[in-house]
Amino acid sequence: MFSTLSEDALAYHRLNGRPGKLAVIPTKPLETQRDLSLAYTPGVAAPVLEIARDPEAAYEYTNKGNLVAVISNGTAILGLGDRGALASKPVMEGKGVLFKKFADIDVYDIEVDTHDPDVLIKVVESIAPTFGGVNLEDIRSPECFRIEAELQEKADIPIFHDDQHGTAIILGAAMLNALELTRKSLTEVKIVFSGAGAAGVSCARHLVKLGVPRGNIWMCDIEGLVYQGRSSFMFPEKAEFANGDAPATLGETFEGADVFIGVSAANIVTPEMLDRMCANPILFAMANPDPEIAYDLAKQTRPDAIVATGRSDTPNQINNVLGFPYIFRGALDVRARKINDEMKMAASLALAELAKLPVPRKVCQAYSVDHLEFGVDYIVPKALDPRVCLWEAPAVAEAAIESGVARKTLDVDNYRSQLAARFQSRE
User: Which candidate, 350, 372, 370, 349, places its Cα nearest to that of 359?
Assistant: 372
Query: What fold is seen in the domain 5-157?
Result: Rossmann fold (3.40.50)
Side-chain half-sphere CA neighbours of 222 within 13 A: 6
| CATH number for the domain running over 164-427 | 3.40.50.720
* Same fold flag, 5-157 and 164-427: yes
Residue closest to 80 by CA, chosen among 121, 140, 38: 140
CA 41 to CA 250: how far, in whole Å? 64
DSSP string, 385-423: -THHHHHHHHHHHHHHHHTT-BSS---HHHHHHHHHHHH
- Does residue 299 carry a catalytic annotation? no
Q: What is the pLDDT of residue 9?
A: 86
Amino acid at 168: A
User: Is residue 263 a contact partner of residue 192, using CB atoms and an 8 Å limit?
Assistant: no
Q: Any catalytic annotation for residue 326?
A: no
Instruction: Name which of 209, 248, 257 is nearest 229 in CA terms.
Output: 248
Helix axes 324-333, 341-354, angle to 10 degrees: 120
Contact 203, 261 (CB under 8 A): yes
Residuewise pLDDT in 10s, the chain (427 residues): 457 888 888 888 988 778 999 888 999 999 999 999 999 999 999 999 999 999 999 999 999 999 999 999 999 998 788 999 999 999 999 999 999 999 999 999 999 999 999 999 999 999 999 999 999 999 999 999 999 999 999 999 999 999 999 999 999 999 999 999 999 999 999 999 999 999 999 999 999 999 999 999 999 999 999 999 999 999 999 999 999 999 999 999 999 999 999 999 999 999 999 999 999 999 999 998 899 999 999 999 999 999 999 998 899 999 999 999 999 999 999 999 999 999 999 999 999 999 999 999 999 999 999 999 999 999 999 999 999 999 999 999 999 999 999 999 999 999 999 999 998 876 6
What pLDDT score was predicted for residue 288? Answer: 85
The structural domains of the chain, with segments of one domain joined by +, span 5-157, 164-427
Is pTM, for the whole model, over 0.75? yes
Quick one: which of 243, 305, 296, 247 has its CA closest to 276? 305
Q: What is the pLDDT of residue 423?
A: 87
DSSP string, 74-93: SSS-TTS----TGGGHHHHH
Residue 228 · residue 258 · CB < 8 Å: no
Q: Whole-angstrom Cα distance, residue 174 to residue 109?
A: 30
Backbone phi, psi, residue 266, to 5°? -70, 145
DSSP string over 304-368: T-EEEES-TTSSSB--GGGTHHHHHHHHHHTTBS---HHHHHHHHHHHHHHTTSPPPHHHHHHTT
Whether 82 contacts 140, CB under 8 Å = yes
Residue tagged active-site, from 21, 64, 89, 95? 95
Strands 282-285 and 259-262: parallel
Number of neighbouring beta carbons within 10 Å of residue 397: 29
CA distance 107 to 376: 36
Please check whether residue 39 is in contact with residue 28, taking contact to mean a CB–CB distance below 8 angstroms. Answer: yes
Please report which helix (H) or strand (E) contains residue 199, including its range: helix 198-210
Q: Cα–Cα distance between 389 and 329 in angstroms, integer?
A: 8
Partners of 160 in the beta sheet?
A: 135
Which residue spans within 153-258 are E strands per DSSP?
159-161, 191-194, 217-221, 224-225
Distances in whole angstroms, Cα of residue 47 to Cα of each of 30, 43, 76, 106, 349: 18, 8, 40, 21, 40
DSSP-H helix ranges across 104-159 = 117-127, 143-154
Dihedral sign for Cα 79, 84, 87, 88, please.
Answer: positive
